[in-house]
Structure 1
């Protein structure tokens, strides 16, 4: 992917995914699913939310949290992520991060890499992608129409969330 492909014409605000878009992630979703008993073909957050037993659900959430916190300590800027943020800064556009990560791991990744984005929504703030709620919350806060925003991510959930919100999208 070339940074020149990131077209900002007509864009009034840019929202980024975090893992795999701005920073590297070494999260092992196969191991994470095994740890919580989630079938490999299911979304792990949806699976855990559907667990009926509160103790089992809490243990699963804690297992996911530990994986995310371990990953957060080592997450580094992706060169393309840094270049995209710098390009958006050069265009003087507002930026936000919407991630499926927990707030604690996200804060570590943002702080450790000095990512210059203050507006961050995690799965504690809104339903996880591909649900468009978090993206629409950002557009609403910026007082922009969804179609004036660009969502940049690296996974099918990012594309689906943007489409569900009526936003332009760009996959890296």
Structure 2
């Protein structure tokens, strides 16, 4: 991870800092979401409030089950340590819910306090959460590095005008 010119590092959570066994194919099938559609966008578009709540609860249960078993990835730990060595501010921006995120962070003693979940800002690839972090740190987006593992991470960083790294 090259930190030249970087003044702050924002990490994705699942697949970047911690392992994840979330099976989105099963989740999509359970709630009737087409395989080629974003699951969170699909749920938000459900007209029937009861069906929408059921879909949210299904996703929540999968996330909580996954959170209890998530382990810190060694590459994630090394990247956090490198950012710490450079005294850079760190944050996490994740599409996870707040409750599952808190479990993953606590169970793995991840030393990052500034965390934004999908309850805090629109989900990636929307850049809002990344821009919120840059603003909080009083940094230009171009001075921040976003580290992730999925196309939404790259898109969010590009949409925010940030540097990005895929792991």
Q: Same fold (TM over 0.5)?
A: yes
Correspondence for 2:58 among 34, 47, 63: 63
Aligned to 1:162: 157
Superposed, 1:9-158 pairs within 5 Å as 9-158=4-153
Provide the secondary structure at the position in 2 that maps to 1:52: coil
User: How many positions carry a matched residue from both structures?
Assistant: 167
Alpha-carbon distance between aligned partners in 2 of 1:91 and 1:50, rounded to the nearest angstrom: 43
Q: Distance in 2 between matches of 1:56 and 1:21?
A: 32
- TM-score normalised by structure 2 residue count: 1.00
Per-residue deviation, 1:35: 1.0
Gaps of 5+ in 1: 1-5
Q: CA deviation at 1:146?
A: 0.1
Partner SS, residue 170 of structure 1 = strand
CA distance in 1 between counterparts of 2:56 and 2:30 reads 10
1:90-144 CA-to-partner distances (Å, cap 9, x unmatched) read: 0000000000000000000000000000000000000000000000000000000
Show structure 1 runs of 4+ deviating over 2 A. Answer: none
Question: TM-score, normalising length from structure 1?
Answer: 0.97
Q: Which runs of 5+ in 2 are unaligned?
A: none
TM-fit CA distance, 1:45 = 0.2
Rounded to whole Å, the distance in 2 between the matches of 1:9 and 1:36 is 44
Q: Give the 3-state SS of the residue equivalent to 2:92 in structure 1.
A: strand
- Cα distance in structure 2, aligned partners of 1:36 and 1:89: 41
